[in-house]
C-alpha cells in the first residue's frame, strides 16, 4: 500500500473540518425554525386570548341585557301591584318580583366575575402582544446572524473542499475506491487514529501484523469495523 499514514491523517482532519462546517451550516436553519415556531406559538396565543376576550365581552353583554330586561319586568310588575284585584294575584306578583330580584342578584355576581375576567384577559392580551413583538425582533436578529454566518461558513467550506480535493489526488487505484466508498458511507468516521494497540473507532485490538504495518507508516483497514486506521508518528 503506497498511501502514507500522514496522507490519511490529513484526509481525516479535512473531513472532520468539512463535517463540522456542514453541521454549522445545518444548524442555522434549525435556529431560524426554532425561533419561527416560538413566534408562531406566541401569535397563536394572542389569537386565542383575543378570542377568549371577545367571548367574555359577549357573555357580559348578554347577561347585562338579561338584567335590564328583568329590571324592566320588575318595574312593570311593581306597577301592577296597585291594580291587583285579588290577594292571590297580588301575592303572585310579589313572589315573581322577589324571584326576579334574587335572580338579578345572582346575575350581578356573575357579571362582576366576568368583568374581572375581562380585566385579567385584557392584561394577558397586552402582555402576549408585547411577547410577539419581542419574538419578532429575536427572529429577525437570528435570521440576520444566520445569513451573515452562512456567507462565512460557505466560504470556509469551499476552501476545505478545495483542500480535500487536492489531498485526495494522492490516492489511486483500489485504495482510492475503498476510501471513497467509506467516506460516502461514514463521512469523517471512515477513518480512525490508532489508540494504543486498538482501532480508535471500534477499540478492537489489532494483530501484530497490522500493528507492524502501522509502525511502518502504512494505513490499514480495521478488520472489525472497516475504518482506515493510521498512526500519528509525531506523538
**Count of structural domains within the chain:** 2
Same domain, residue pair 76 and 112: yes
Same domain, residue pair 138 and 210: no
- Domain extent at residue 75: 18-170
| Final residue in a domain of this structure, among 134, 149, 170 | 170
Mean pLDDT in residue range 60-68: 96
Least confident of 143-147, 160-164, 193-197: 193-197
- Quick: pLDDT tens for 74-124: 998 888 888 878 888 888 888 999 999 999 999 999 999 999 999 999 999
The residue written with cell numbers 489508540 in the block is: 195
Average pLDDT, rounded, for the chain: 93
Same domain, residue pair 131 and 77: yes
- Quick: pLDDT tens for 181-218: 999 999 999 999 999 999 999 999 999 999 998 888 78
Same domain, residue pair 179 and 128: no
Which secondary structure element, helix H or strand E, spans residue 147, and what is its range?
helix 87-168
Q: Looking at the domain assignment, is residue 92 inside a domain?
A: yes
Q: Looking at the domain assignment, is residue 6 inside a domain?
A: no
Mean pLDDT in residue range 60-67: 96
Same domain, residue pair 67 and 163: yes
pLDDT band at 233 (very low <50, low <70, confident <90, very high): low
Residue 1 has pLDDT above 50, yes or no: no
Q: Looking at the domain assignment, is residue 2 inside a domain?
A: no
Domain containing residue 36: CATH number = 1.10.287.1490
Residue 25 has pLDDT above 50, yes or no: yes
Report long-range pairs for 48-55 (Cβ below 8 Å, ≥24 apart). Answer: 49/121, 49/124, 49/125, 49/128, 50/125, 52/121, 53/118, 53/121, 53/122, 53/125
pLDDT attached to residue 116? 97
Amino acid at each position: 500500500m503506497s498511501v502514507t499514514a500522514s496522507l490519511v491523517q490529513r484526509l481525516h482532519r479535512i473531513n472532520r473540518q468539512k463535517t463540522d462546517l456542514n453541521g454549522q451550516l445545518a444548524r442555522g436553519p434549525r435556529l431560524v425554525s426554532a425561533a419561527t415556531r416560538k413566534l408562531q406559538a406566541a401569535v397563536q396565543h394572542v389569537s386565542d386570548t383575543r378570542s377568549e376576550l371577545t367571548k367574555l365581552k359577549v357573555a357580559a353583554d348578554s347577561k347585562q341585557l338579561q338584567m335590564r330586561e328583568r329590571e324592566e319586568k320588575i318595574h312593570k310588575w311593581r306597577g301592577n301591584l296597585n291594580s291587583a284585584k285579588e290577594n292571590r294575584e297580588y301575592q303572585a306578583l310579589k313572589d315573581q318580583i322577589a324571584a326576579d330580584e334574587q335572580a338579578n342578584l345572582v346575575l350581578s355576581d356573575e357579571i362582576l366575575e366576568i368583568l374581572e375576567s375581562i380585566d385579567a384577559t385584557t392584561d394577558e392580551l397586552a402582555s402576549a402582544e408585547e411577547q410577539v413583538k419581542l419574538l419578532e425582533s429575536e427572529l429577525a436578529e437570528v435570521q440576520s446572524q444566520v445569513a451573515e454566518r452562512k456567507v462565512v461558513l460557505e466560504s470556509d467550506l469551499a476552501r476545505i473542499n478545495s483542500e480535500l480535493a487536492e489531498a485526495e489526488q494522492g490516492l489511486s487505484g483500489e485504495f482510492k475506491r475503498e476510501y471513497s466508498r467509506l467516506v460516502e458511507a461514514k463521512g469523517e468516521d471512515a477513518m480512525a487514529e490508532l489508540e494504543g494497540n486498538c482501532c480508535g473507532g471500534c477499540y478492537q485490538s489489532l494483530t501484530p501484523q497490522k500493528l507492524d504495518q502501522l509502525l511502518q507508516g502504512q494505513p490499514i483497514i480495521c478488520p472489525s469495523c472497516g475504518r482506515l486506521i493510521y498512526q500519528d508518528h509525531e506523538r
